[in-house]
Amino acid sequence: MKIQSIRGVKDILPGEIEKWQWVEDIARNVFRKYGFKEIRLPVFEKTALFSRSIGETTDIVEKEMYTFEDRGGEQITLRPEGTASVVRAYIEHKMYNPPSVVKLYYLGPMFRYERPQAGRFRQFYQIGIEAMGTDNPAIDVEVMTLLIEFFHLLGLKDLKLQINSLGCPDCRPQYREVLKDAIRGHLKELCSNCNNRYEKNPLRVLDCKVERDQEIAKGLPKTQDHLCETCKANFAQVQALLDVAGTPYAINPLLVRGLDYYTRTTFEVTSEGLGAQNAICGGGRYDSLVEEFDGPSTPCFGFALGMERLISVIPFDGKSEIESQPDIFVISLGEEAKHHSFNVVHQLRTAGCVVDQDYDGGSMKSQMRKANKSQARFTLIIGENEIKSGKYMMKQMESGTQVEIAADNFVDQIKAELEKD
Ligand code: HAM
């Protein structure tokens, strides 16, 4: 019986994975420069961690979590995002001692039972970072600037940084009421989803994807006009620092995000090239979450980006650094040569060369075909004659030029040829 992978999940095969590794390497370098350290988190957690942090009335918690009871009767959920786990780990390991800004990043798979379509999967990968322990707007801007620098290193251009402020527990409840009053008159025109959200989560009406609702949303009261003095000053400072950093942005008053833990600054980076699922990255400030899980007061700021969406918009053409073909493919002709070349391959690898070989022995022609397929830069030919004469043949595959390599000093000579190439 043939078993296939599950809808909405995919394998990342050699040929594609090199792009992922290239992106991950650049991410690690940039994050290191800004002082972020990696944290590896479990793929599953207690369900309550996600439902309480992301919010009981969000789409993720209401309809998208992979939740099951384990054999011990515990309610478990495959993580739909990483922030909740970082907060749990931060408290569990008392990372707030001694007090300082803790800067963490993570990468790995997330799981959401969404309707699969282009750019939307049920298992997808995120790279995320969380800066924990300060409400200084400098960190908001540092993190957004880091992200833009990272995108530039990947060769991405047409990206839009959109920001908004959602206020704080002092001003948000009032805004919520003003918003509800304004929405009330439109309930008949709004979609059924918005009607459901109106009572429990009225801010989500602002970012409904239904076209007619979007027109209505544009006319609704904006968070910006209902911020308390502290949040207003904070948002002004974020904008001023973005200007200092020379990071272009646009204020989008309809940007509310799909997770409930946000306070003050929220942001998204979108790409025109992505169609309907155009958000590559989203994040913002969440100043109350650590406290809500019984940790000390710890304002935080972070983001997560979707790897599949990111990879799909990077212009990879001509990026030789993502290629992973061997330096040398070793061809051995005859039984004795096969034994002999085992040691040659071993010594070359020990010396740091990327080497592959033919394992089946076959004719020169068939082994050459394999060498071509491997896209190796060179082939090294070892037959009985070569062993007898003490000279191997090394061929540059693109030009066809051949050089003799003395068997008694082959590692140094081959390395010299590789360097010359
Ligand atoms: P999020 O907006 O839910 O935020 O997800 C972040 C990114 O993950 C999205 O912008 C998108 O690129 C990608 N993504 C989400 N769902 C899918 C999917 N089904 N298929 C493919 N890609 C997807 C968070 O997860 C927050 N934890 C971000 C954060 C960190 N906020 C503060 N710190």
Query: Could you write out the DSSP letters of every residue in 266-289?
Result: EEEEEEGGGTTS-EEEEEEE-SSH
pLDDT given at position 157: 85
Are 287 and 135 in contact, with CB atoms under 8 Å apart? yes
- At 91-141, the pLDDT tens digits run 999 999 988 999 999 999 999 999 999 999 999 999 999 999 999 999 999
Looking from the CA of residue 269, the nearest atom of ligand 1 is 10
Are 124 and 109 in contact, with CB atoms under 8 Å apart? yes
Ligand 1 center from residue 276 Cα (angstroms): 15
Average pLDDT taken over every residue of the chain: 95
Mutating to test ligand 1, I would choose from 125, 259, 287, 310 the residue with most ligand atoms within 8 A of its C-beta, which is 259
**Ramachandran area for residue 55 (φ above 0: left; ψ -120 to 50: alpha; else beta):** left
pLDDT given at position 220: 95
- At 22-77, the pLDDT tens digits run 999 999 999 999 999 999 999 999 999 999 999 999 999 999 999 999 999 999 99
**Ramachandran area for residue 44 (φ above 0: left; ψ -120 to 50: alpha; else beta):** beta
Mean pLDDT of 136-157: 95
Are 14 and 324 in contact, with CB atoms under 8 Å apart? yes
* Short-list 291, 297, 165, 163, CA closest to 228: 165
Quickly count: other Cβ atoms within 10 Å of residue 329's Cβ: 27
Around ligand 1, the residues with Cβ closer than 6 Å are 81-83, 112, 114, 120-121, 124, 126, 128, 130, 258-259, 279-284, 302-306, 308-309
pLDDT given at position 361: 83
Instruction: Name the pTM for this structure.
Output: 0.92
Are 100 and 131 in contact, with CB atoms under 8 Å apart? no
The sheet with strand 378-383 has its strands ordered as 355-357, 328-333, 378-383, 391-396, 402-406
C-alpha distances in angstroms, 82 versus 41, 53, 96, 237, 282?
Answer: 8, 11, 19, 28, 12
Mean pLDDT of 158-165: 94
Q: Which range (10-14, 223-227, 274-278) has the least confidence?
A: 274-278
Mean pLDDT of 148-174: 94
Q: pLDDT-based confidence at 209, cuts 50/70/90?
A: confident
Mutating to test ligand 1, I would choose from 41, 106, 162, 309 the residue with most ligand atoms within 8 A of its C-beta, which is 309
Given a cut of 90, is residue 319 above it in pLDDT? no
Q: pLDDT-based confidence at 311, cuts 50/70/90?
A: very high
pLDDT given at position 219: 94
Name the packing angle between helices 410-420 and 335-350 (round to 10°).
70
Mutating to test ligand 1, I would choose from 122, 126, 150, 271 the residue with most ligand atoms within 8 A of its C-beta, which is 126
**Ramachandran area for residue 342 (φ above 0: left; ψ -120 to 50: alpha; else beta):** alpha
Query: Residue 401: what are its φ and ψ, rounded to 5°?
Result: -65, 140
10 CB-near residues (< 8 Å, 6+ apart): 121, 123
Q: Is the peptide bond before 116 cis (omega within 30 degrees of 0)?
A: no
Percent of the chain with pLDDT over 90: 90
